[in-house]
Chain A
Amino acid sequence: MTCDELHEHIDPFLDNELGLAEAQKIQQHLEQCPNCESLYASRLAVRDALQKPEMRFLPKADLSDQIHGELLKQIRPPTRRAWRLPAFEFPSWVLPGLAGAAAVLLLWFGSTTFLTGNRTSNGVLATVTGQLVSDHMRSLLGNHLIDVVSTDQHTVKPWFAGKLNFSPPVYDFSDQGFKLIGGRLDYLGDQEIAAVVFQHRQHFINLFVWPKSESTGFPDTSLQKEGFNLYGWEANGLTMWAVTDAAPDTLKTFVDLQRQKQMGTEP
């Protein structure tokens, strides 16, 4: 092999893109030729420098939220919203704190049609729980799980207070095996909702909370979706859904603890 031939093949050699026979020829030449060896060394130096972790740029943590919000707009185009709006029985201003017609639509169905049991309820339930499962899955990717990291309810609760116009219940159940690990803002439709995050052994539980939109009672709902367990209920004017990959029994235990605490009775 000549030096010119080596120069032609030095990059695929470095990148492991040569066959064994060719790679051996290169290796032999490098051992005998100081000039080519020094070219190879300079290639390696460039590679080492570029592969340092500091060379990579990392996005800020909120980018995945921003992308998620943008993707949600893709699946709920404005035309469909406009078509459904006349079906409202009350105008959006009676639902305080809800941002945008889409959220109004979603939550109105979410709270009323479950109860009346009419034919759309299953579809709406599927939409809400589908989004929550999607939120839950996203929260487990990368470093997205928690915006405020704390095992102290007195840190997490005020953090939400500065960001939402409702106050989600934040209690630590470490003693019962459900450790409070932090909180996060998430989305249901266009509306910001609270996600209180708990850990049970190796499982995470997202407790999603937002203001319920009507005062009528809301039946407990327990279901499975895409391999996750969900439990929804209402209390103190809030709608709550817990989502986890832990077992249904475990989830029920967690929900019972939450409810007892929220009703002011110690478990």
Chain B
Amino acid sequence: MNEQEKLARFEGEMLPLMNDAYNLARWLVQNEQDARDMVQDAYVRAFRFFSGVRGETSKAWLLRIVRNVCYDHLRKRPVHSSDAELEKIPDHSSPETELQSKSEIAAVRLALSHLPEDFRTILVLREMEELSYREISEITQVPIGTVMSRLARARQQLADLLKQMREKDLV
């Protein structure tokens, strides 16, 4: 397989997954330009290691690389705990904020964006990409038992956060 053929095969197999890769990256790094850079880096990295033979699906393989690229990027930024970030959610005395849009979608988006990275990752992989525990375990490189308990905590935290936002009359 020469380089041209390798590229054609790689793109045929991997580019159809670009929207999934972007969605994960966008939820992880939380802005458009960084997400584009992450996806591009992930594709370049994936291409270098592409051989066509893998023990996992193309999607799980690519998303694992996307996740790793995003985590590397996030490690280089100052870390905020989710609680610290929560304080930044404005209350109803700031009428110009995005919270003014009272739609359920906006509320869920906002709540999800304030969960810790591990929780965001696992909810995106499970609920938006509809991957199995096994695939999520391959992507996040933790045992299946951890996938299960992390998912439980992530869902609980998201539900609590939404409830909290409603009680504060934020949404």
Q: Do A and B bind?
A: yes
Interface size on A, residues (CB 8 A): 41
When A17-B132, A47-B127, A137-B11 are in contact, do A142 and B19 touch as well, CB less than 8 Å? yes
Contact B7 A75 (CB under 8 A): yes
When A63-B39, A67-B18 are in contact, do A54 and B148 touch as well, CB less than 8 Å? no
Q: How far is the CA of A164 from the CA of B38 in the complex (A)?
A: 30
**Chain A residues closer than 8 Å to B47, beta-carbon distance:** 71, 74
B4 touches which of A11, A55, A126 (Cβ 8 Å): A126
Q: How far is the CA of A226 from the CA of B9 in the complex (A)?
A: 10
When A51-B127, A57-B22, A63-B18 are in contact, do A12 and B133 touch as well, CB less than 8 Å? yes
Q: How far is the CA of A121 from the CA of B117 in the complex (A)?
A: 52
Contact A55 B128 (CB under 8 A): yes
Contact B104 A49 (CB under 8 A): yes
**Chain A residues closer than 8 Å to B43, beta-carbon distance:** 67, 70-71
Contact A63 B22 (CB under 8 A): yes
A residues at B contact (CB < 8 Å): 10-12, 15, 17, 42-43, 45-47, 49-52, 54-59, 63-64, 66-68, 70-72, 74-75, 126-127, 130-131, 133-134, 137-138, 141-142, 226
Contact B36 A138 (CB under 8 A): no
A59 touches which of B3, B39, B133 (Cβ 8 Å): B39
5 closest residue pairs by CB, A with B:
A50-B127, A130-B4, A57-B26, A75-B3, A59-B22
**Chain B residues closer than 8 Å to A63, beta-carbon distance:** 18, 22, 36, 39-40
Contact B7 A137 (CB under 8 A): no
Main secondary structure of the interface of B (DSSP, over half): helix
Contact A15 B16 (CB under 8 A): no
Contact B155 A55 (CB under 8 A): no
B109 at the interface (CB under 8 A from A): yes
A50 touches which of B10, B128, B152 (Cβ 8 Å): B128
Query: Interface readout for B118-159 with A: 1 if CB under 8 Å, 0 if not?
Result: 000001001110001100000000000000100110010011
B68 at the interface (CB under 8 A from A): no
**Chain B residues closer than 8 Å to A64, beta-carbon distance:** 15, 18
Query: Interface readout for B32-71 with A: 1 if CB under 8 Å, 0 if not?
Result: 0001100110011001100000000000000000000000
